Amino acid sequence: MDFDFSEDQRLLQETVKDFLEGECTAEYVRGLWDTQTGRSPEFWAKLAEIGVPGLMVPEQAGGLGMDERDLVLVLEETGRYALAEPVIGTVAVAVPLLVGLAESGERKLAESWLGRIAAGEAIVAVGHDRSPLVSDAHIADLLLLPHGDEIHAVDPGEVGLTAQRSNDQSRRLFAVDWAPSDRTRVASGQAGRKLVDAAFDRGVLACAAQQLGVGCQLIDMGALYATQRKQFGVAIGSFQAVKHRLANAKVQVEYARSLVYRAAHSVARALPTRAVDVSMAKAAAGEAATSAGKESLQVHGAIGYTYEQDLHVWMKRAWSLDLSYGTGAWHRARVADAVLDGRLPAESFGFVPPGA
């Protein structure tokens, strides 16, 4: 069995990478920090031209009809270049949630939004019940908010937004003051619960995929600086202690990569192990990205603490993603609960009992 990505999937990844390399520079990311919204409609329109917002929108709605196995590589590149646009909320979470709502009977709602998302004309922000804050609610054309086992489609003009500070200037978080009603409810009961849980797991997967890209970039920045900074007449990258730090960080990222790709497959196929797989991926990728930041900072030394040095752009992103959609500790506890409570056979997520 071939577990590698297809040529088309790799080509899509390279297309997005080439675009972001030219358009999403560190200077561009920093420049958005001082704008009112922290976002660029022009940049979002360019993303739409290469198909990113519509990647998982069904073909009949004007999208590419792909799934999380295609999206995971794109998300990895958005992490590598610290893209601030709402790819996680709109592309990774809102689109499949709208598709799920259509399948449960809310076809009119889905049809009115999916085509606009694919065309880059609409942004949808999604909340989850493990956080009171919603990312990018200030620029959203529609809010999809959970309330227990219910999902509500809410007009942003009917809610109160309170901006919250973040350690990552690219993050725009808002507390949303709203009241659920029969008019806004679009799913409830068991169907609603399934959609809420699936949306959360997709957000977890998306964060983990971006963390892979962040970790890779932090290692690359450390390795580049190690070839430029000299001590005792030689590049510090020639010192074994420096090599070991970056090599250990690289091992962590590559270990997490297989877990993230497996989680993408589990989400795309709606496997019974989905929740455990995404939690394993998030815990591993979060630890890998934050460790890569720590090691790269050690390689940079004192200059790494300066505002002018771009290292903190990715370090802050590693920290903010680690807190998004559940911390590493929360996800490790989730995996432990699944194993110890016996809700799933241990062999199904990689643990083989002694003597087996």
Q: How large is the average pLDDT for residues 186-215?
A: 97
In a domain, residue 97? The reply is no
In a domain, residue 210? The reply is yes
The percent of residues in the chain predicted with pLDDT above 70, rounded, is: 93
Cα 300 off chain centre by: 27
In a domain, residue 351? The reply is no
SS3 58: coil
In a domain, residue 92? The reply is no
Burial of 265 (0-12, 13-18, 19+ CB in 10 A): middle
- The amino acid at residue 37 is T
In a domain, residue 157? The reply is no
Cα R_g (the chain), whole angstroms:
21
In a domain, residue 86? The reply is no
Sign for the pseudo-dihedral over CA of 275, 277, 278, 281: positive
CA distances from 162 to 110, 145, 173 (A): 28, 16, 8
The pLDDT, as a whole number, for residue 200 is 97
Q: Which of the four pLDDT bands, split at 50, 70 and 90, describes residue 98?
A: very high
| Cα separation, 206 vs 176, whole angstroms | 22
Question: Could you read off the pLDDT of 17-30 as tens digits, one per residue?
Answer: 999 999 999 999 99
Q: Are 153 and 144 in contact (CB under 8 A)?
A: yes
Q: Are 346 and 353 in contact (CB under 8 A)?
A: yes
Q: How many domains does the chain have?
A: 1
In a domain, residue 341? The reply is yes
Question: Could you read off the pLDDT of 226-249 as tens digits, one per residue?
Answer: 887 767 777 666 667 777 888 999
| Cα separation, 151 vs 64, whole angstroms | 26
The pLDDT, as a whole number, for residue 52 is 97
Query: What mean pLDDT is reported for the chain?
Result: 92
Residue 306's domain comprises 191-345
CATH number of the domain that residue 275 is part of = 1.20.140.10
Question: Could you read off the pLDDT of 300-326 as tens digits, one per residue?
Answer: 888 999 999 999 999 999 999 999 999
Backbone angles phi, psi at 93, to 5 degrees: -110, -50
In a domain, residue 291? The reply is yes
The pLDDT, as a whole number, for residue 344 is 62
- The amino acid at residue 276 is V
Predicted model pTM: 0.93
What one-character-per-residue DSSP string does 219-275 give?
Answer: HHHHHHHHHH-EETTEEGGGSHHHHHHHHHHHHHHHHHHHHHHHHHHHHHTT-TTHH
Question: Could you read off the pLDDT of 104-142 as tens digits, one per residue?
Answer: 999 999 999 999 999 999 999 999 988 989 999 999 999
Question: Could you read off the pLDDT of 138-197 as tens digits, one per residue?
Answer: 999 999 999 999 999 999 999 999 999 999 999 999 999 999 999 999 999 999 999 999
